[in-house]
Amino acid sequence: MAERTQLTACKTCRTRKRPCDKAVPRCALCVKADTPCTFVDTASGEEYSRQQIADLEHQEAELRAELSSTAGRNTSVNATAVDQNNAQSPRNAAPAEGSNVLETILSNPRFHPQRLRQLLVRRQIQQPVETPAEMPHPDMGHLMFDNYFKESHVQRPMLQKSEVQGLLRRAYPEGQPGQLDSQDSYVFLLICAISAVRLRRQELLTQHPYSFFLSALRHAEHVNLLSGITALQNLLLLNRFAVYYYTGVSTWDIGRICMHLCITMELHLKPLIPLRSSEEQHRRILFWESYVTDRHMSTILGRPFAIADDDIEVDLPAALSGTEFEGFDGLAQPRADAVMESPMAVFIAFIKLRQISSRIQTTFFAKPKRASAQLSIHTKMTVFGELLDIHQKLSEEIKMWRQRSPIYLHAETFYQMQEWYEFLAEKEQLFLVRGAIDAIHSRTGSRPTELCDICCSSASKVIHLYSGLYWTKQINCTRHYFQILFTAGLLLAYFSTNEHPDHSDKASAAQDQETMATLMECHRLLQSLGHEMQDALPYAKVFGLICGAAFPNWTTYEPHWQALHANDPDMSRREHLSTGTFPLPSGLNNAAYGDFDQAVMYYAHDTWPDMPTDWSYSPGHLFADMEAYVGQFATGDFTWDPLLNPLSWNMSADGIE
């Protein structure tokens, strides 16, 4: 029988924003209110009552009892609820055609959500143990601000360059540290914190970025975070640092507040009265920065966007730098060739990619899906063709975006490198093909082999592209990048397990070597990122356990992995990771992760049972649960438990306060 923890909260509890005990036939709140206890199935959109569940469970118990008492049969069905720790999956006469090993593993009771909870237990959110930093020496302060202009400001120009330069002059009048008010101190220290992330990774700075954040936090109570342009800038700056370290606030919440401020100030609309060019440009930048943040965080968590694309009227920022506005009258949209050389080119390209992401999310993930059993064969074929056509068109949009991305003959920053745009485009292709597979499978019951192959290819490219940038210390360590690698690795493992089931020909064997080497590389990247971000370590461990269970001999491909990366930089660090002895950061207790070593016994030397009959939630609840957890990690949003109460966000934006 279905476990109560797998039921969705009822409509009454969700409306009143109360925890639902999920009792059958009615929860406590519905009993008290004397109302029917109903909920909506997010997959089909149908409404059901808890009483129906109780009736079905009663019928199931009667049928099980009848089968159990039937004489002369060699098999019997146990009507008693089996203990979760000792339960065995139902067996079929033979595995289904194209059975996926990872599905079997994820659906085995030994990997029940309760086991996942033990693996991903969060005794406390790990944060760097640092003390607030003092104001840096003038030489170091200028180095940090120079790095900020060359790196973060290129991608996210939320602060006007002239204002930041003025802040730097006020911070060091006559070459010595000066006195700053709370607002200036807050901005100054957050810029230092953001810049210190890359400088510390390049070993140009010993001070931990989190120490500058702690210093900025001292001034947070005295700065404007509630209304106006200043509040919007302060929040966006805080959110920028939050992609690297947990700040105690969900980045999704911050993004939501930022968009609320934008709508309140009507930044999403064209100005009713003429504004100075520099002011209008700055308003555009702040809105589109909020837009990018909202799209990014909402997509990770599967929540609705704060504003629909159709409600946005304001143009993209003009392809001009701040110093060029004085002699420029009006903000007409620039020529394409002007964008290529503009200081705003990176930001504009990033916005356009997020607009494509928004269309993918709206097309494949946000719409309610009808169960495939409710569709006729003709309708299924029609839907199949329509979804494939949409996938093809969106894929072409991504390819066109890549062709039109900025080109710099002499890249001065990481965000001007072609490898970064290649990584972004491939990451978007992976997001797209996954959405297409999910939509086609849920609406037609089929999963196109061609799309599965594309998914494997994109996942591999994402891992290798990030690897090339990471080991050369050109790309930063962010929580979002960790989430991307984790998802790409799971998708590659999931779709690769049945790509070449016989493994007989040389091509299949070669493909297996490439896949295992890629999964091994992904595991090492996750481990290394876990060293940089302490609270990422549990997820890296879970990924290794899943790969070890799905591919018991994956460690035998170590020589092939070594051969692929023989000429790579920082190879010694990777080899250190491959031994499995990567040291925990200082301040972390090995006992806190003892569950992981103990978890190996859950599948070691075990023979996995045959495939269950129902894969309607394929690739399994556990796959989604792991993604939900790592999505929380990426956004710092730990306000709900995806295993205990998966709150449905499939509602209009007006329903979210």
Farthest CA pair distance, the chain: 97
Q: What average pLDDT does the chain have?
A: 74
Helix, strand, or coil here: 47? strand
Most confident stretch, 80-89, 123-132, 266-275, 315-324: 266-275
321 pLDDT band, cuts 50/70/90, is low
Token pair, residue 365, equals: 């993930």
pLDDT (0 to 100) of residue 565:
55
Higher pLDDT, 223 or 15: 223
Higher pLDDT, 387 or 119: 387
pLDDT higher than 60, residue 263: yes
189 pLDDT band, cuts 50/70/90, is very high
Lowest mean pLDDT among 42-56, 84-98, 158-172, 467-481: 84-98
* Nearest residue to 10 (alpha-carbon basis) of 20, 1, 2: 20
Which amino acid, residue 374? Q
Helix, strand, or coil here: 39? strand
How far is residue 255's CA from residue 300's CA, in Å, rounded to a whole number?
A: 13
- Spell out the residues 6+ positions from residue 88 whose beta carbon is closer than 8 angstroms to its own: 82, 109, 609
Higher pLDDT, 321 or 392: 392
375 pLDDT band, cuts 50/70/90, is low
Q: In Å, how far from its chain's centre is CA 51?
A: 37
DSSP of 143-212: HHHHHHHHTHHHH---S-HHHHHHHHHHHSGGGS-----HHHHHHHHHHHHHHHHHHHHTTS--S-HHHH
Are 317 and 285 spatial neighbours (Cβ–Cβ below 8 Å)?
Answer: yes
Tell me the mean pLDDT in the region 300-319: 90
The pLDDT tens digits of the residues spanning 393-425 come to: 999 999 999 999 998 888 888 888 899 999 999
* Nearest residue to 60 (alpha-carbon basis) of 82, 77, 37: 77
Which amino acid, residue 485? L
Q: In Å, how far from its chain's centre is CA 372?
A: 28
Any long-range contacts for 207-210 (C-beta under 8 Å, 24+ apart)?
Answer: 207/133, 207/136, 208/128, 208/130, 209/241, 209/244, 209/245, 210/127, 210/128, 210/130, 210/245
pLDDT higher than 90, residue 32: no
pLDDT higher than 80, residue 559: no
Q: Which residue has the tokens 């960790």?
A: 482
Measured CA to CA in angstroms, residue 454 lies from 195, 499, 510 at distances of 37, 12, 18
Are 235 and 251 spatial neighbours (Cβ–Cβ below 8 Å)?
Answer: no
The pLDDT tens digits of the residues spanning 563-583 come to: 555 555 444 444 444 433 333
Q: What is the dihedral of CA 253, 256, 260, 262, to 10 degrees?
A: 120
pLDDT higher than 70, residue 105: no
Q: Which residue has the tokens 């949009």?
A: 397
pLDDT higher than 50, residue 85: no
> What is the sign of the dihedral through the CA atoms of 197, 198, 202 and 205?
negative
pLDDT (0 to 100) of residue 91:
32
549 pLDDT band, cuts 50/70/90, is confident
pLDDT (0 to 100) of residue 77:
34
Higher pLDDT, 371 or 242: 242
In the chain the domains, ranked by start, together with CATH numbers, are: 1-73 (4.10.240.10)
At 48, give phi and psi (nearest 5°): -130, 160
How far is residue 405's CA from residue 351's CA, in Å, rounded to a whole number?
A: 11
Are 359 and 394 spatial neighbours (Cβ–Cβ below 8 Å)?
Answer: yes
